[in-house]
Amino acid sequence: MRPLPLAMALALIASPALSTTIEVTIDKLVFSPASIQAKVGDTIEWTNNDILAHTATVKGGWDVMIPPKSKGKVMLKAAGAVDYFCRFHPNMKGHIEVAP
């Protein structure tokens, strides 16, 4: 087996980690899981199993509309702790820890 050329080896080391899609289900007015861990570049996708519309809203940030029996998603662009809620049902709450 031949050793990798230096440029290829450095490219492999420096390549960014693959982003993933993290799925959150909405059922009976509850985000599940309610708390998740993600990293910058990951996508959160909500699947709304309810017959009511919901949102995933961050005060001063994003606002994702999730129609009944449908999906909504957002790509995470900044590290930090994110608390979100449904504008229509403020008792519905979720939390995301976003790593760099």
Residue 78 lies in a domain: yes
Indicate whether 79 pLDDT > 60.
yes
Greater pLDDT, 48 or 12: 48
pLDDT at 16: 57
What range defines the domain where residue 24 resides?
A: 18-99
The three-state secondary structure class of 7 is helix
In sequence order, which ranges of the chain are alpha helices (DSSP H)? 6-14
Residue 61 lies in a domain: yes
| Across 63-88, average pLDDT | 97
Residue 68 lies in a domain: yes
Residue 12 lies in a domain: no
Structure-block tokens of residue 69: 């029996």
Q: What is the CATH number of the domain that holds 53?
A: 2.60.40.420
pLDDT at 19: 87
Q: Name the domain count of the chain.
A: 1
Residue 8 lies in a domain: no
- Tens-place pLDDT, residues 3-45: 544 444 444 444 456 889 999 999 999 999 999 999 999 999 9
Percent pLDDT > 90 in the chain is 81
